[in-house]
Amino acid sequence: MRRETGTPRDGWEKTIESQGLAYHRAAHPAGLSRPYWDESAHYVFTMDEVLELESQVEELHQMCLRAVEHVVSTGRYADFAIPEWAHEEVARSWERRDDHLYARFDLRYDGTGPAKLLEYNADTPTSLVESSVVQWFWLKDTHPDDDQWNSVHERLIDRWKELRLPPGPTHFAWTNRDETGEEAMTLAYLQETAEQAGRATVAIAMEDIGWDDAGRRFVDLEQRWIRSAFKLYPWEWMLADDFGRHAVRHATWIEPLWKTLLSNKALLALLWELYPGHPNLLPAYLDGPREMSSYIAKPLLGREGASMRIVTPTGGQETTGTYGAEGYVYQGFEALPVFDGQRPVLGAWVVADESAGLGIRETTGYITDDTSSFVPHRIAS
């Protein structure tokens, strides 16, 4: 694994916007000297590195599924701050094995040892368009003889064909809270992959979904019955909503309810408990840092690096945010590796239960947040 620099393509802004990355300006805070999509740098991997990472990702995914089974069989929902009324519904979703679509592991990796799990976003992961589409076309334009760890698009289409969904169109729901357009474009891309798989689709805002009390069903603005829906709206928000009790019992949701256990950072502590010392894990606990002198406190339901606190013997760092009322997990802190002054986080994609691709975000700081940039990668031929 190495980092290389180069000259961006002429007119790269219009190129990536035409490929779906229309939000690259809005998704990045104003005043930064570096763009969100930065093709002046990229990472190079060997095929052996990628094959080894693929194997580690799939092992981590299977460990996470076993962790869900453990929570359901032992009833440890309180560790995940899931409301008591929803416990049985989460169990039913898992026992039915409600179908799931995709997810993203965030990993620490420096090319010299096992990848370390930082967190798992298995409910509403974004940075999908740039990972699946935009960096693929960058590769074809700049290094056409090389390969890329990227079968996301094909696997998504295949997975839509496999999903056990009720008849009628599948609704694709974003939230009006999205101020950058990132969720809307991610949703539009996923909707396109579903249509390529032969599914009829309808786009809708979550805020426009209605409840037909007489028919005991969700409906769209045309009063069509919503039988199945893909949502970029976290389950913890749905469970806190006035209609959350209806949502867990009516309609087929993608991602399914049991995935609320995998996008919750309490998972990190449970994995360490079930697999202590595993080479792909960092120590993690729910009751405090214990023996760790260097650790990072992460809110169980935090997003975009908000409300985190790093503690080390030589100092610390905090990020602002409003998360944390639900509790924290305390994870061993290993600084991200440095390449040319930048610290990359590997976003490894899983579609269904198989490794599917890679997206890389990097920043100069210890915590990857909305100031980080996405950089492409290639596999050297």
Amino acid 230: pLDDT: 98
Q: Strand 41-45's sheet: what is its strand order?
A: 2-5, 41-45, 377-379
The C-alpha angle 112, 60, 376, rounded to 5 degrees, equals 55
Residue 26 DSSP symbol: T
Amino acid 305: pLDDT: 86
Could you report the per-residue pLDDT of 84-126, keeping only the tens digit for each? Answer: 999 999 999 999 999 999 999 999 999 998 999 999 999 999 8
Pick from 238, 261, 233: nearest CA to 250: 238
Confidence of residue 26 (pLDDT cuts 50, 70, 90): low
Amino acid 367: pLDDT: 87
Amino acid 24: pLDDT: 77
**Amino acid of residue 11:** G
Amino acid 381: pLDDT: 86
**pLDDT average, residue stretch 295-309:** 92
The answer on pLDDT for 321 being more than 80 is: yes
Kindly state the percentage of the chain with pLDDT values over 70: 98
Residue 134 DSSP symbol: I
Cα separation, 227 vs 216, whole angstroms: 12
The answer on pLDDT for 225 being more than 80 is: yes
The pTM is what?
A: 0.95
Amino acid 223: pLDDT: 95
179, 307, 308, 309 from 318: Cα distances, Å: 25, 7, 6, 4
Amino acid 208: pLDDT: 96
Confidence of residue 28 (pLDDT cuts 50, 70, 90): low
Do 266 and 302 contact (CB within 8 A), yes or no? no
Could you report the per-residue pLDDT of 136-188, keeping only the tens digit for each? Answer: 999 999 999 999 999 999 999 999 999 999 999 999 999 888 777 788 899 99
> Across the chain, what does the average pLDDT equal?
95
Amino acid 25: pLDDT: 75
Residue 179 DSSP symbol: S
Confidence of residue 370 (pLDDT cuts 50, 70, 90): confident
Amino acid 303: pLDDT: 84
Domain residue spans of the chain: 2-70+101-261+338-379, 283-332
Q: Which of 15-24, 28-37, 267-276 has the highest mean pLDDT?
A: 267-276
Amino acid 27: pLDDT: 63
**pLDDT average, residue stretch 15-38:** 83
Cα separation, 331 vs 283, whole angstroms: 6
Cα separation, 217 vs 168, whole angstroms: 14
Can you tell me which residue has the tokens 């992961």? Answer: 125
Backbone angles phi, psi at 377, to 5 degrees: -145, 165
